[in-house]
Every structure is written in structure tokens, then in C-alpha cells.
Structure 1
Amino acid sequence: MPQLTDEAVPDQDGTGPDDQRRAGTWMTPEAYGASRAALWTGAVVLVTDTDGRVLVQSVDYRSDRLLPGGAVDAGEAPSAAAAREMREELGVDGRYPRGLAVDWIPADTPGFPAGMRFPGEILHVYDGGTWNQERIDSVRLPAQEITGIHFAEPADLPALMDAGDARRALSALRSRINGSGTALLEDGRPTVPTALDRLGVLRTRRTAQHGAWHAGPVPAQLPVRDRSAWLFAPDGRVLLLIARATGAAHLPPPTAAPTAGAAPLGYRYGDQGVHARTAARLTGLPSAPDAEYARLLATPEQVRELSDWGRSGDDELAAVHTARTRLSLPPPPRTPPTELPEAGTRW
């Protein structure tokens, strides 16, 4: 920062003012203030329902959908603006202290009328949490501006929202799943992408598996549609496959790696048979046989949040932690999912 002064600067011999001030070092407060970039400030809130869908609202002044939120008023803290906007737009009281992302939106972003003289914006994305049906039913829309809300599958956001708004919402959602603090974005893109960002996770629709969860082995008379496994690393995280072409997340098959202590975990009904799950402890990972998939280690909760399992997903998650305890493995802390090397590893 340049040193500011309203006073004459002594010359080199200390006898009087020096008209040849060092360029770029000394500035008057007026000159310094004029040199600083002026930006708008905004605050929005990312809310999901229990199925992992994102709350978006329709407004009467544009055709695309928006996250709830708006402009930060002069002298107002961004978190206070987020709470005010949620109260004004949805009739919901709350506090939103946890930031998911801070985005820099450039001045040349398309879509702003020339007369608006858009200078660029710093936009804060706050975590509104997961809303159950009771909280959703408590929403009360104002007489003007907000014409409706609905919860959208994350992969549908680019079709519903402005491109930059959709990038920002997906980056903020991945930041929430990562659990590693507020992500810094530039035009909706993380300055330090995580594995979920690099692989474009959630850019395609999740496969719905909403059948009721049943613990234990699959009964002999039921046809098995597919088999997948919760395969635990020594730190309590599990193996997760991400399709590089689509960003889709999958549990691996039971044969994906050498294991110990394998046991049936449970199953859920599908359209053409049941989806069977087992649980086992990983003893190592071979070299990646298929370059189409990235291999990540993630917490069971992160796998749940990247999947569309309906309410029965909570029952499956509880069974997963019971299996982890049976395998004498620790509960893993939430950290960003880690991509494993193609060369494999051993434990």
C-alpha cells in the first residue's frame, strides 16, 4: 500500500519540499481513494432438501432461476444481508454464519445493461443447510418479486440458471461436501480446484435409488440387479469411483480391490431386481485397470451426499457405520475427497 500524506515531503538534504516525489510511493488520500476498484457486494444462500436438491427461486424480472439473496446494503455485513434477504424473499428467519464460497464477478460479465454501469461484484455464498419438509412448508413468499421456489437436481442448474450463477452454485455445493472451508472463486470457478471440481462431480443427474433399505443378505428368491460395496481404507474412508466423462459417482463392485472381513450389508429394491451392498476392509488397491474412472477416498457422509437414495439413504448410512465399527476402523473426519494414484497402493 502506498504511504499517504497531505504534507510536503522533505527533499534529500532535509531543507525543504521535494517536488520530485518518488513515483508510486507517495499519494494523497484523494488520489489513493480514486485509484481503488469499486465493486458491488452481494450475498446469496445455498439451501438443499433431504434429497440433495438445491433451492432456486423464480422472480418476476427475469426468466432464469436464482439462489435466494441479493445486494448488501451500505454499511451492512454480508451475513446480515443474507439473513435479511431470506426473511424478505422467503419469510424465513435464520442466521447463516458459515460461508461456502466468495466469488469475484468481472465487470465485463454478459447480461448487465450498459446503463447499469456494472463495476463487478464480490458475492458471498452462505450455507443455508438442509431443510426438511416442515421448514419448506414454512416458506411465505412476498406479494411481489418472488413468484415461486422449487428444489432442483444439481445437474439441472446450468439449464435453469445463468451460466455464471450455475457455476457458482455447483462450486459452493462441492465446497459444502468437501467440508474444507470457504472456497475462493473467480467467475464461479475455484482458484484452487479440489478433486470434486476437477472431475466435474454433480454435472450429470444422479441415479435415483429410492427403494427401502433392508439390512442383511439378499434373500435367495430375489434377483440381484447389481452388487456394490463399501470398501474401507484404514482411516475409515471408503473407495468411491467417479466417471471421468460424466462426473457420476459410484460405489465400486466388491471385486474392485483385495479385501478382508467382507460381509453382506443390506439391499434395496430396484426396477429390475435389488441393489445389493457388502462391506469390507481394503487391504490394498491394484493399479487402476480402467482409465475411465477416477478412484477417490471419501467419508461415508460424502458418498451419501453425492447420491440420490431418498430417505432410506440415512438407514444405509447407519448400517455403514455399524460395519465400520465391526471392522475396528475409526470414524473419519470430513476432509476433501482424495484422488488415488493410478499406480495403486498397499496398506
Structure 2
Amino acid sequence: MTDEEYGVLRATAALWAGTSVLITDGRGRVLVQRVDYRDTFLLPGGAVDKGESPSQAAARELEEELGVTTTVDRGLAVDWVSASAVDAPPVMRFNGEVLHVYDGGTWDDDQIAAIRLPTHEIEAVEFAEPARLSDLMSPSDARRALSALRARVNAAGTVLLENGRPIAPTVLDTAGILRTARALHHYPFHPSPAPGGLPVRQSWGYLLAPDGRVVVLLDPATGAACLPGGRPESGDHGDPVATLRRESRKEANTEFGDPLFLGYLSDPDEPCARVRFAAALTSVGSATADPSTGRAYTRILATPEQALELFDWGPPATAQLAAVHRARERLGIPKAARQAVTELTVPTTW
């Protein structure tokens, strides 16, 4: 085959090249754009122009669409988009696309205030709860955005997708995290004992493995995440540590050493305390079904920072995270490096 013949052959299989950027706010909501040429929302981004690299195209699109000049240098996902996955008119001759998704980071209030929209194409931007992406975006765009967001939380590097679906799903993908709305709990955190007379309605714990990561429970039915713990029962005799031990055994089949009290959350709608502890894990057994739901939680180890990305606890979460790390240091446990989450499947004793 001559060079010319080879070039013609490859040209018949050529795909479009595109790029998009995943940006979140401090609450983990995703920036999406309403455009004047589609009835669904999009991530910032667009086509890669001739002679551009995908990262250069991503930076150019951010400047054109949001008025923001920045470097885009961390990939989250590369998606192979088939021709059948996009409802493109025949006259467009869409033959498929390779679309690169980059990490635009978490933007603070000043960065968000600096957004300047062009006079055409981009009509508005908003930050959407991840669970709303499937309502706002086309099915393939929503799958891609959620897969990229899970890849960012998982911190395992760039993932490969086909029509928005990972070809090697992680536990976060199989559990479907962030596909249902996260409970909005922006309760004030108080790093002090709860006032006398204030009833304790919840006792949750940051159960720390020797590497500094904590146990997080994923509901297989909804993808919702929570920490081990629960509501007090009469058999706990008013002891929140007893509540935590009972609930963590029931939900996660875990045992832990003497816990350290972190503080409590006050609920503006109910006069109660939601207490928080930290403790060193001593053992993890096989997964068992929660008697109250009949379902076995998927148990993962994640850094405390990754765990908070799965919740919508608002600004008070910063103070709670600081209390966790103070307790971790007192327990003699190192700070975990950001890394891929690990599913707990094999019984382990420390």
C-alpha cells in the first residue's frame, strides 16, 4: 500500500476531536452552560481546531466561553463517542468523536464572579448538583460528565470511556455514586461537647485504617454515601459510643478502638446534636446485610477529603475535617496521600 493509499484509508475512519472541562464549586456542583444552539446543557468546551492539541483547545474554549484565562493540564477522561450516540443530522456527516475531558478544578467565589459570557452562543451558566446532570444534559453527555467526576474523586488518573461509560469501571462507577441527590446537611459544626439537655439524634464515626483513610458506606440501591453510624436506640442507654459501635457492626461489620470525640452538629430545624467521633479501625469482617434495609453496603476506604466530596455538607465541613486530622494525629495515624479508593472485601485485622 502506498503512502497515498494508506492516507486515504485512514481518512475514511477519521473521527472528530473535541474537548470539555469539568469545573466544580466548593459544594461539588458542576458548572454547565445553556447554549443557544441546543436544548440541553453542556460542559464548557468545543471542537479541537486544526493544529491544536486538545489541552490548548480546552484553554481556548474557556477563554471564549467564560472569559477565563487558565492552563488546562490534567486529564480526567477520554471518551470514544460513536456516531449512533449523537443525534446529529445526516447533513453534518458526523462519523464519531474522540472527546477529552479535563479537570478545571474547584472554583471559589472570586473565580466564579470573574466569569464573563460572550454576546452569543453561551446564554447562561449554573452549578448543578451531580444528580441533576441527567436531567439537564443529553444522556451521553451526562454519562461522560459523571464518569469524569467520579474519576476526579477517585484520583486514579485518566479513565477511558466508550459513549460515556468506563471500559474498566471502578467501585465508584459500579456503585453509581453521585447519581442520586446528596443529602444537603449544612449544619454548623461545634468542636466541643454538646450542651447538656440537648438530645443526641445521630452518632457517626470517621473510622481510620492504618494508612489514614476512613470507611465510607455506599448504598447499592441509590449510590448514596454515608459514614458508619446511626440513630440511638434504647439499648444504647444514652451512650453515643455504644450507638456508634452497634451501628458500625450492623452496617459495616467493623470494630474499632477507643474513639475520640470530635464535636457535634447542631440542626437549626430540630433541637438536637449529631455527634462525630474518630477512631482507629481494629478489624473489618465480611460484608453483611443491614437488618433494617436488607442490603449490604459497599464499603470503601477513602481519604477524609475524598469522603467529603461524596457529601454536601457545605462550609462547616472544613472545620469538621480539621477536627478529624487533629484526632488522627493524636491516634498516631499518618495522613493519607490522595489515591484511588479501595473496596473492602476481605476480612482484615490490624
TM-score when scaled to structure 1?
Answer: 0.90
For this pair of structures, how many residues does the alignment match? 320
Q: How does 1:185-200 map to 2 (within 5 A)?
A: 185-200=161-176
State whether residues 296 and 337 of structure 1, in contact with CA within 8 Å, keep that contact through their aligned partners in structure 2: yes
Structure 1 residue 292: deviation in Å?
Answer: 2.9
Inter-partner Cα distance in structure 2 for 1:104 and 1:335: 26
SS at match of 2:257: strand
1:96 counterpart = 2:72 = yes
The correspondence for 1:56, drawn from 19, 25, 32, is 32
State whether residues 194 and 336 of structure 1, in contact with CA within 8 Å, keep that contact through their aligned partners in structure 2: no
State whether residues 261 and 327 of structure 1, in contact with CA within 8 Å, keep that contact through their aligned partners in structure 2: no
Amino acid across the alignment from 2:255: P
Counterpart residue number, 1:28: 2
Task: Could you tell me which runs of 5 or more consecutive residues in structure 1 were left unpaired when the two chains were aligned.
Answer: 1-26
Inter-partner Cα distance in structure 1 for 2:32 and 2:56: 20
Q: How does 1:189-268 map to 2 (within 5 A)?
A: 189-253=165-229, 254-255=244-245, 256=248, 257-268=254-265
Inter-partner Cα distance in structure 2 for 1:90 and 1:167: 23
Counterpart residue number, 1:83: 59
Deviations 1:6-47 (A, max 9, x none): xxxxxxxxxxxxxxxxxxxxx111221122220100111100
Identity percentage of aligned residues: 55
Counterpart residue number, 2:306: 302
State whether residues 287 and 296 of structure 2, in contact with CA within 8 Å, keep that contact through their aligned partners in structure 1: no
Counterpart residue number, 2:241: none
Deviations 1:245-287 (A, max 9, x none): 0000000012212211312111112233332111111100133
Counterpart residue number, 2:17: 41
Amino acid across the alignment from 1:344: P
Structure 1 residue 174: deviation in Å?
Answer: 0.7
Inter-partner Cα distance in structure 2 for 1:242 and 1:326: 28
Inter-partner Cα distance in structure 2 for 1:294 and 1:280: 20
Inter-partner Cα distance in structure 2 for 1:275 and 1:42: 46
1:119 counterpart = 2:108 = no
Structure 1 residue 288: deviation in Å?
Answer: 2.3
SS at match of 1:308: coil
Inter-partner Cα distance in structure 1 for 2:149 and 2:165: 12
Amino acid across the alignment from 1:324: R
Counterpart residue number, 1:6: none
Structure 1 residue 344: deviation in Å?
Answer: 2.7
Structure 1 residue 217: deviation in Å?
Answer: 2.6
State whether residues 89 and 142 of structure 1, in contact with CA within 8 Å, keep that contact through their aligned partners in structure 2: yes
State whether residues 68 and 85 of structure 1, in contact with CA within 8 Å, keep that contact through their aligned partners in structure 2: yes
Deviations 1:200-250 (A, max 9, x none): 110111011101111133222212221110000111110110000000000
Counterpart residue number, 2:277: 278
Could you say which structure has the larger radius of gyration?
1
Inter-partner Cα distance in structure 2 for 1:102 and 1:110: 16
Between structures 1 and 2, the one with greater helix share:
2
With 211-220 and 292-301 compared, the bigger mean Cα shift is at 211-220
Amino acid across the alignment from 1:252: P
State whether residues 57 and 66 of structure 1, in contact with CA within 8 Å, keep that contact through their aligned partners in structure 2: yes
Amino acid across the alignment from 1:318: A
Counterpart residue number, 1:24: none
Counterpart residue number, 1:3: none
Amino acid across the alignment from 2:207: L
Amino acid across the alignment from 1:165: D
SS at match of 1:261: coil
Counterpart residue number, 2:116: 140
Inter-partner Cα distance in structure 2 for 1:172 and 1:205: 17
RMSD: 1.1
Counterpart residue number, 1:287: 286
With 267-276 and 128-137 compared, the bigger mean Cα shift is at 267-276
TM-score when scaled to structure 2?
Answer: 0.89
Counterpart residue number, 1:7: none
Inter-partner Cα distance in structure 2 for 1:317 and 1:129: 20
The correspondence for 1:68, drawn from 28, 44, 53, is 44
Inter-partner Cα distance in structure 2 for 1:87 and 1:309: 31
